[in-house]
A = this chain, B = another copy of it.
C-alpha cells in the first residue's frame, strides 16, 4: 500500500508492505487522518520525547533513526477482521479508534511507534476493543477530529473548572481551539483566548471564545473586566487578611468557632482563573506563572519537548497549581463522538485544509509556519 514515511525528519510517499490484522485487530481503509502538532514535534524532537517516554516506561516511541508511518487521528472503514475478534460491525462500516494497538509486544502507540504504523496511509490497524462505530450524522472530517477533541475534553475535565470560573486559553493552535470548543460544550461562561495570530484569533471566535485578545495589546488576565475577586498582588492579599481579621475581632461576643471561620476566610486567597497553556514552547510556563493571578490553576496541555526553566519561588509565593495533562480515557473519546453526533460540539472551524498523501510534506511546512492554519486532514 501507499503511505507517507518519516525517516530522519524527511517525509516521503512510498510503497510499504501491506498490513495483516493480527489477533484482536481490525484493518481499516483510511478515510481521513489529521496532522497533529505531536507529529511535527515527533519528526524534529522524536529522540527527546523517546527519552522522556522511556523514562516513564514506554520504550517504543519513534526515534529519528526509525522509518515510521505517522498519524494517530483517523477514521476509516472496516476492510478485514483479524483472528479472535468479535466482528460486531459490518465490513465497510465507519469506525474511529484510540490510537493504541494491542500487539504481541504489548500495547503500542499507533503512528508514534515503529511497531504500529499510523494513518498517513491507505490502511491502518486498530484494536477492536478500542474502536467505536461512527454515527451516520458525523461527517468523515469530524470523525477524524475525535482524537484531538478527546485530548481537549480530558484537559477540561482534569482542570475541574466550574461553569462560573474564568478560563484563559493561551495559544489558539488546534489544541487551544479544541480546548475552547470543549470549554463551551462544558458550559463555561467566560472563555478568554489569546494568540499572536489574527487568523487564529478569528478561529477562536468561531470556536466560541467570549473574549479574544492579542497579548501584545491586552493582558488576557486584564481582559475579563469584572475581577471576580482575583488577586494579582500579594500586598493586596496581606492587607485583605488584616482587614478581615480586624473586622472579625471587632464583633463583641463573637464565639471563638465563628471567629475562626472568619479567620479562615480572611487568609483564603481567592482562586485565580483556570489557565490552559496550549503553546508548548520553552518559557511559556514560567511566563504564565509570573503573570497569572494568585492561586491560578495552570493546565499544561501544550507539550514542550525541551527542558524548561521555571522560578519555583514565584510559583510558591502565588500558590500556583501546575496540572500536566496527557491523553484521555476510552469513555472521554467516545463522549466526544456522541457530542459531535448530537450537535453539542461543532468542530467545523477546526478544519482549514485537506490534502492527499502527496500534499503532506507541504502541509507540514504550512503548519510549521503557525500562521492561519488549524487542522489539515489527509485524504489518502
Q: Footprint of B on A, CB under 8 Å?
A: 24, 48-49, 52-53, 55-59, 86, 100, 102, 106-107, 109, 127-130, 158, 232-236, 238-239, 241-242, 245-246, 249-250, 260-261, 263-264, 266-268, 280, 285, 290, 294, 300, 303-305, 307-332, 334-335
Can you offer 28 A-B residue contacts whose CB atoms are under 8 A? A56-B234, A56-B317, A100-B238, A102-B246, A106-B239, A107-B242, A129-B246, A130-B245, A241-B329, A245-B330, A260-B334, A264-B330, A264-B332, A266-B330, A267-B327, A267-B328, A267-B329, A303-B312, A303-B313, A303-B316, A304-B312, A304-B313, A307-B309, A307-B310, A308-B309, A315-B322, A316-B324, A319-B325
Q: Give the residue of B52, B267, B331 whose beta carbon is less than 8 angstroms from that of A260.
A: B331
Q: A53-B234, A300-B312, A321-B323 are in contact. Are A100 and B329 (CB under 8 A)?
A: no
What residues of B have a CB within 8 angstroms of the CB of A317 in the complex? Answer: 52-53, 56, 58, 326
Q: Give the residue of B235, B268, B321 whose beta carbon is less than 8 angstroms from that of A58.
A: B235
The docked-state distance in angstroms from the alpha carbon of A201 to that of B311 is 29
Contact check, A305 vs B309: say whether CB atoms are below 8 A apart.
Answer: no
Contact check, B249 vs A86: say whether CB atoms are below 8 A apart.
Answer: yes
Contact check, A238 vs B329: say whether CB atoms are below 8 A apart.
Answer: no
Between A48, A246, A315, A319, the greatest number of chain B beta carbons within 10 A of the residue's beta carbon is seen for A315
Contact check, A52 vs B330: say whether CB atoms are below 8 A apart.
Answer: no
CB distance from A170 to the nearest CB of B (A): 14
CB distance from A54 to the nearest CB of B (A): 10
Contact check, B322 vs A321: say whether CB atoms are below 8 A apart.
Answer: yes
Q: Give the nearest-CB partner of A330 in chain B.
A: B263
Contact check, B318 vs A307: say whether CB atoms are below 8 A apart.
Answer: no
What residues of B have a CB within 8 angstroms of the CB of A328 in the complex? Answer: 267
CB distance from A299 to the nearest CB of B (A): 10
Q: A56-B234, A233-B56, A241-B100 are in contact. Are A325 and B314 (CB under 8 A)?
A: no
The docked-state distance in angstroms from the alpha carbon of A233 to that of B238 is 43
Q: A316-B300, A319-B326, A324-B318 are in contact. Are A57 and B308 (CB under 8 A)?
A: no
